[in-house]
Amino acid sequence: MKTEHIGIAVSNLEEAVKHYEKLFNRPPYKREVIEDQKVETVFFKTGESKVELLGATSDDSVIAKFIRKKGPGIHHIAFEVDDLEKEMKRMQSEGFRLLSNKPLKGADNKIIVFLHPKDAEGVLVELCQSISD
Ligand code: CMX
C-alpha cells in the first residue's frame, strides 16, 4: 500500500492554505467540496504523495467535531489499494471494523472506506482506490 495522502483538519481553510502555500512554495492543485462528508478539501502534491487540508462545511461535520475535541492537526492517513472491495473483505476477516459497508465517494477521484481508529492504534485509516474522472 502506498501512502496516498495525509489528511489535516483545519479550523480556517483559507488561512491554512496560505500557510501551506508558503511551506511547500507552491499553490494547491485541487479544491473540492464533498457534500456527503460535509468537508471542503484542498490538495498539495508532496512528491509521490499528497497533503489534504480538510475544512468543515457545517457545524455537524466530523471535521468540526474532531477540532472541537482535539484541535486542528493530523486527522487521517490514506493508503491506496488496487481493489478496495477485496481489501474491505480482507480487513473484515482480520477483525477490523469498517466505518461503512460500501465504498464512499472521496475527494480527488477516489472511492474510500475508513477503518475505526480504535482498530489502528488511535489512527483513523482511510483505504482508497483511484477511479477515472
Ligand atoms: N483520529 C483518531 N481518533 C479519532 C478520530 C480521528 N480522526 N476521529 C474520532 N476519533 C476517536 C474519538 O476521539 C473517539 O475516541 P474516544 O471514544 O476515546 O473518545 C472515537 O474515535 C469515536 O469518535 P466520536 O467523536 O465519538 O465519533 P464520531 O461520530 O466523530 O466518528 C469517525 C468518528 C472516525 C467515525 C468519524 O470521524 C468519521 O467517520 N470520519 C471519516 C469521515 C472523514 O474524515 N471524511 C473526510 C474524508 C475526505 C477524503 O479524504 O476524501
pLDDT digits (tens, 9 = 90+) for 46-89: 999 999 999 999 999 999 999 999 999 999 999 999 999 999 99
Q: Whose CA is nearest to atom 36 of ligand 1?
A: 62
Cβ 75 under 6 angstroms from ligand 1? yes
Give backbone dihedrals phi and psi of 55, rounded to 5 degrees, phi first.
-110, 145
Cα–Cα distance measured from residue 45 to residue 117, given in angstroms and rounded to the nearest whole number: 25
Q: Which atom of ligand 1 is nearest to the CA of 41?
A: 48
Its pTM stands at 0.93
Cβ 7 under 6 angstroms from ligand 1? yes
Q: What is the pLDDT of residues 101-119, one digit of tens each?
A: 999 999 899 999 999 999 9
State mean pLDDT over 31-56. 96
Contact, 82 vs 129, CB < 8 A?
yes
Q: Whose CA is nearest to atom 33 of ligand 1?
A: 62
| Per-residue pLDDT at 90 exceeds 90 | yes
State mean pLDDT over 15-21. 98
Residue with cell 507552491: 26
Q: Compute the distance from residue 25 Cα to the ligand 1 centre, in Å.
A: 31
Q: Compute the distance from residue 66 Cα to the ligand 1 centre, in Å.
A: 7
* CATH number, residue 70: 3.10.180.10
Containing H/E element for 24?
helix 13-24
Total of domains in the chain = 1
Which parts of 41-83 fold into alpha helices (H)? Answer: 62-70
Cβ 128 under 6 angstroms from ligand 1? no
Q: What angle do CA 125, 127, 129 make, to 5 degrees?
A: 160
Q: What is the pLDDT of residues 1-17, one digit of tens each?
A: 899 999 999 999 999 99
Nearest-CA neighbor of 84 among 20, 128, 38, 25? Answer: 128
Q: What is the dihedral of CA 79, 82, 86, 88, to 10 degrees?
A: 20
Containing structural domain, residue 123: 2-130
